[in-house]
Amino acid sequence: MSLPTLETTPIPGLVVLRLDLREDARGWFKENWQREKMVALGLPDFGPVQNNMSFNAKRGTTRGIHTEPWDKFVSVANGRAFGAWVDMREGESFGAVFTVELDPATAVFVPRGVGNSYQTLEDGVTYSYLVNEHWRPATPYPALDLADATVAIPWPIPLDEAEISDKDRANPTLAEAERMAPKKTLIIGANGQLGRALQVEFPDAELADLADLDVTDTDAVTAWPWHEYQLVLNAAAYTAVDAAETEEGRRAAWAANAQAPATLSLLAAEHRFTLVHYSSDYVFDGTAETHTEDEPLSPLGVYAQTKAAGDIAVGLAPRHYLLRTSWVIGEGKNFVRTMQTLAEKGVSPSVVDDQVGRLTFTSELSRATRHLLDADAPYGTYNLSNGGPATSWADLAKEVYRLSGRSADDVTPVSTEEYAAGKEMAARPSNSVLDLAKIVATGFEPEDQLVALTRYCERP
């Protein structure tokens, strides 16, 4: 079979496919839906789950204009029909119209939010449409009057001669019609350090914390309307590295860092939303000079192992961005704020100098998230930290002290072994430096960590 061809239209996302119809004395054959070929042409990989057929006995049967909240792939199995589409989505293209005659060699992809209608030009026309959500009874959706003068669809058969249902005759005009809003964004873990930063970049997002949505709770997950979302940002995590080594902490870490991401990955595949998840340099043992995205996982402690398991699960989602980061600093309790407090109190701390990496400010992490989405970057794993030369924790503590008006010499560098003496501490990677080349190649320029640190320390 030859490749179909794809034609764009004035309605964004609505495309016409001209199919290869193989005819002989017996009739014809066509590949009405061929995922590999059609996605290669540029059609969205929209994941149909239901195929509906509508038999129309009489010429002039007219249906629509219906704007169900899912994508459609429409065609006719036999006969001819006049297809008409109206953009009912919020935005500049609202009210845009496109029409085309449908025959067995023509198909149309109709994106969510575009009103769909057709009129049969012969008796006995069978109209087919694939959809990517299961039909749900009583699902509300915008509709439009077939005779609306604003869109002025040029119906081949006058509507007063057509077969139309009473319901379709009662649809509102364009001026009165409801506009379809886009699918929503959800931030999970919205009240954490990263969740609060993400709210700045995604101000219209819906927010959920553990009290609203526990992704490890089967009933809560089942009740949540996942089909309403196009993007889910998972900022929830268990981050108590040392406590994760305890019996209670181990269970909590595995639930939050592995089970919850695995559930979200399955939901992302089922409901076709993009999943953004945040990981850690702890998935590596710290023996490499710099860590690339494709380095084999080598976690040391329980926290690290749970994060690695979450990475594997998220990687199975068809549309995912996994941002692997290090030494996160945001609003709330963190290393920098602790050093500032100690400096204010006149304390001279001992800080490890044999663990090396870069800080990642939550503002930088959320900015990178926004960038990947806006740039339509390829799905997959990206390392992300602030830029600049790598430093030790002791180097950073000295800089915080200097910015706080204290002498850098008030910070005493010690080895991890010396610092951990007499303490119950999980193993930590000695080198947390992430290679940033992949995200830089998408056009993102990480801000130097010391520039960001200075600005952060100047804020109250």
Cite the active site residues: 66, 129
Query: What are 24's strand-pairing partners?
Result: 27
| Total Cβ atoms within 10 A of residue 368 | 25
Whole-number Å distance between alpha carbons of 137 and 35: 28
Kindly write down the DSSP assignment for every residue of 300-337, as one continuous string.
-SHHHHHHHHHHHHHTTSSSEEEEEE-SEE-SSS-HHH
| Residue reference for tokens 């061929």 | 34
Find the helix packing angle between 362-374 and 193-201, rounded to 10°: 40
Whole-number Å distance between alpha carbons of 432 and 430: 7
| Total Cβ atoms within 10 A of residue 39 | 12
**For the chain, counts of helices (H) and of strands (E):** 13, 24
Q: How many CA atoms lie within 13 A of 49 on its CB side?
A: 11
Whole-number Å distance between alpha carbons of 41 and 16: 11
Query: Alpha helices, DSSP H only, in 233-273?
Result: 247-254, 260-271
Amino acid identity of residue 25, one-letter, is: A
